[in-house]
Amino acid sequence: MIEADDFLNPAKALGYDFYCGVPCSFLTPFINTTITSPTLDYVAATSEGEAVAIAAGAWLAGRKTVVMCQNSGLGNAVNPLTSLNYPFQIPTLLITTLRGAPGLADEPQHELMGRITHQMLDVMEIPHADFPSDKRDIEKALNTADQSMQKSGLPYAFTMAKGSVADGTGQPQASRSLPAGRIHDFTDASPLPSRMAALERLLAHAPQSAALIATTGKSGRELFTLADRPQHLYQVGSMGCAAAMGLGVALNTPRKTIVIDGDGALLMKMGSLATIGSCAPENLIHVVMDNASYDSTGGQPTVSPGVDFAQIAASCGYLHGYTCNALSGFEKALTQALSRPGPHLVHLKIAPGSARNLGRPTVKPPAVARRFRDFLASKPANDQSN
Ligand SMILES: Cc1ncc(C[n+]2csc(CCOP(=O)(O)OP(=O)(O)O)c2C)c(N)n1
């Protein structure tokens, strides 16, 4: 058994100081020490998949990251681990517990996952080792993990058995309750714009220094067709993770960070609205292009017509929520969102459909990620609009 700091201090010496996750009772002393540490950043995610995406954003903004979860939550993380970290080659140190490990008396809901956790990691091609429970093994284990991630650019996992970390004294404080944000209604009677026209206006308004993250599907393809720049991240997979990635970026850069989301994608991971509201990054502008459909997969209807995203975001702690259904209202919302602290959510209703013969990003995901990372690391040029 080790003390939490026996691991956290040498991990910090290697640069790992951005933590994110969802708790497990096996993690309690470890996670509580992380949350209460004055020298580490910890983001409480609403799901393990969201944690993986937040960490990916933080990595893009130059951080070394750790994601902590229960092994039952590994299931929630499979999608971003396989369709975000893998294609973009984004590393993170994953610490997953071993509830239901063979031979351990545990609850029935952990039995199967306890038996297959190592196989799950193997199948996802994530190298892994036991979480070190002896102080003498920690340095070597961390160096092996760090070197593996540096070499492959991919995640590495520690599997944590029950009782690996001694009870500590750290007791996190309750999160603060948040006042509701302000709602701005810019709707009018104009016909709904196309996504392409809205993206054109977005590009015209966004400062050169801004980072743009586009959700999976045709949003990214249209953005790429309009302009391909180092500050664009086309999230080709990991549906629903654009906002979480945007949060990880926005928390670690002073640049305006603009997320281009879809209604279907946002509905898939609405918990991110609460995480963003709680973290309150001033520089985050979350644009939801709502065509009431899964346009990229053939236009099947979503349930968005019954959903007021601006109101929900404002209730989750976003400072401003804007509703618009035409380019003029969208431009008003963007102008306001770019000129004052957020987080902001701009809900734009758009017409379904997309440009014909749409291309797909020709730059490969690892290159997109690395040039985006280099862009974030560079000093912003003088930018009138920022
Ligand atoms: C986890 C997951 N489920 C399903 C898909 C298939 N898929 C790709 S794009 C898309 C539709 C996304 O809808 P929305 O966010 O509303 O954007 P739109 O296509 O309308 O622009 C779907 C279902 C996927 N890529 N990932």
Dump the DSSP string for 80-139.
HIIIIIHHHT---EEEEE-TT-TTS---GGGHHHHHHHHHHHHHTT--EEEPP-SGGGHH
Q: What are phi and psi of 304, to 5 degrees?
A: -65, -25
Q: Tell me: pLDDT of 385 over 50.
A: no
Protein residue closest via CA to atom 26 of ligand 1? 239
SS3 102: coil
Q: Is the CB of 265 under 6 A from ligand 1?
A: yes
* For residues 342-367, average pLDDT: 93
pLDDT for 386: 42
Q: Is the CB of 376 under 6 A from ligand 1?
A: no
Nearest-atom index, ligand 1, CA of 290: 16
* C-alpha 297 to ligand 1 mean position (Å): 7
Protein residue closest via CA to atom 2 of ligand 1? 239
pLDDT for 382: 62
pLDDT for 383: 56
* For residues 286-309, average pLDDT: 97
pLDDT for 292: 98
pLDDT for 173: 86
* For residues 339-343, average pLDDT: 97
Q: Could you read off the pLDDT of 357-382 as tens digits, one per residue?
A: 788 889 999 999 999 999 999 987 76
Q: Tell me: pLDDT of 17 over 80.
A: yes
Q: Is the CB of 239 under 6 A from ligand 1?
A: yes
* C-alpha 293 to ligand 1 mean position (Å): 9
Q: Is the CB of 304 under 6 A from ligand 1?
A: no
- Probe target for ligand 1 pocket from 296, 358, 360, with the most ligand atoms within 8 Å of CB: 296
What the block records as the tokens of 273 is 């609205």
Q: Is the CB of 309 under 6 A from ligand 1?
A: no
Q: Is the CB of 296 under 6 A from ligand 1?
A: yes
More confidently predicted of 172 and 10:
10
How far is residue 328 from each of residues 44, 190, 252, 335, 344, measured CA to CA in Å?
Answer: 37, 9, 32, 11, 18
Q: Is the CB of 79 under 6 A from ligand 1?
A: yes
Q: Could you read off the pLDDT of 87-113 as tens digits, one per residue?
A: 999 999 999 999 999 999 999 999 999
- Give the single-character DSSP code of 99: T
* C-alpha 78 to ligand 1 mean position (Å): 16
- Probe target for ligand 1 pocket from 297, 300, 347, 354, with the most ligand atoms within 8 Å of CB: 297
* C-alpha 352 to ligand 1 mean position (Å): 13
What the block records as the tokens of 359 is 């291309």
Q: Say how many C-beta atoms besides its own lie within 10 A of residue 135's C-beta.
A: 12
Nearest-atom index, ligand 1, CA of 263: 16
pLDDT for 278: 96
Q: Tell me: pLDDT of 81 over 50.
A: yes
* For residues 41-61, average pLDDT: 98
Predicted TM-score of the model (pTM): 0.97
How far apart, in whole angstroms, are the C-alpha atoms of residue 379 and residue 268? 35
* C-alpha 54 to ligand 1 mean position (Å): 19
* For residues 50-70, average pLDDT: 98
* C-alpha 195 to ligand 1 mean position (Å): 15
How far apart, in whole angstroms, are the C-alpha atoms of residue 330 and residue 323? 8
By percentage, how much of the chain surpasses pLDDT 90? 92
* For residues 286-296, average pLDDT: 97
Q: Is the CB of 219 under 6 A from ligand 1?
A: yes
Q: Tell me: pLDDT of 85 over 60.
A: yes
Q: Tell me: pLDDT of 384 over 60.
A: no
Q: Tell me: pLDDT of 221 over 60.
A: yes
What the block records as the tokens of 155 is 């995640």
Protein residue closest via CA to atom 4 of ligand 1? 239
Place of tokens 């994608």: 265
What's the CA angle centered on 267, arms 74 and 202, to 5 degrees? Answer: 115
What domains, with CATH codes, occur in the chain?
A: 4-160 (3.40.50.970), 182-377 (3.40.50.970)
